[in-house]
Structure 1
Amino acid sequence: MEERPRERDGKSGTILLVEDSDVVRDVVAGMLKAGGLTVIQASGGEEALALARRGDAPIALLLTDIVMPGMSGVELADRMERELPGMRVLFMTGYAEEVVVNQGILGRHRGCIGKPFTQEQITKRVREILCP
């Protein structure tokens, strides 16, 4: 019997994935979609803000790389949280998670996952944040 994607519970919603590397962004989006999650993609901060402001889908989670050209993931998260109160944030980083924690960018609705990660790891982490 084929397993059906998990039903949306109202807390999930759309994931806005922001990653400047096309290859990484496509792979991560594929992982999330295969896990039954709804994903929209942006290649940087300005594009992400424009997508969020357009309001095609309610953004429940911002999944963003921390280090990006133009606007960092932290700056993007700060700006988006002002516009979308209650939105959750999951940072992706190739740096040790301890470095991120020590920089004080994590908070009540913010988490972090280290790259590389598996489909199971990212899907589980996203679900933990969306449905605590």
Structure 2
Amino acid sequence: MLKSAGYDVLESCDGLDALDHLRNMPSPPALVLTDVMMPRMTGPQLAVQIEAMMPGVRLLYMSGYSDQILGPLDGTLRSFIAKPFRRQHLILRIREALLGRSEPA
């Protein structure tokens, strides 16, 4: 979905794999899209690690669970999209996250 929308995408199988990819990037990504629940590391745990490694990287969480499990989002660096979602809604939420908006999904 994202590649066909013109985004460069680096896929990871879980949070630890994502951290390995991020450590090897020459510069921080514009955005990290992560599921809230993943094997070996949750999305919020990944976010803490990313913030320590690359402050200011924007995050977009996705989940089939309620956004209530995340607690309050900080309003500037983290956003949320509920599953299931349509392609156009995901693209919209990515654009909003890149612009620093975090309206409820």
TM bin, normalised by shorter chain, reads 0.7 to 0.9
Structure 2: tracts of 5 or more residues without a match: 101-105
Query: Quick one: distance in 2 between partners of 1:80 and 1:71?
Result: 12
SS in 2 for 1:41: coil
Is residue 119 from structure 1 mapped to residue 84 from structure 2 by the alignment? no
Query: Quick one: distance in 2 between partners of 1:121 and 1:57?
Result: 27
Q: How many residues align?
A: 99
Query: Quick one: distance in 2 between partners of 1:52 and 1:100?
Result: 25
Match for residue 65 of structure 2 among 95, 103, 115:
95
SS in 2 for 1:42: coil
Is residue 53 from structure 1 mapped to residue 23 from structure 2 by the alignment? yes
Other-structure match for 1:82: 52
Is residue 42 from structure 1 mapped to residue 9 from structure 2 by the alignment? no
Is residue 128 from structure 1 mapped to residue 96 from structure 2 by the alignment? yes
Identity of aligned pairs, percent? 39
Look up the equivalent residue of 1:121 and give its one-letter code: H
Other-structure match for 2:40: 70
Query: Quick one: distance in 2 between partners of 1:124 and 1:85?
Result: 24
Query: Quick one: distance in 1 between partners of 2:26 and 2:9?
Result: 12
Q: Which runs of 4+ in 1 moved over 4 A?
A: none
Structure 1: tracts of 5 or more residues without a match: 1-30
Higher-Rg member (1/2): 1
SS in 1 for 2:11: strand
- Measured on the aligned residues, the alpha-carbon RMSD in Å equals 1.5
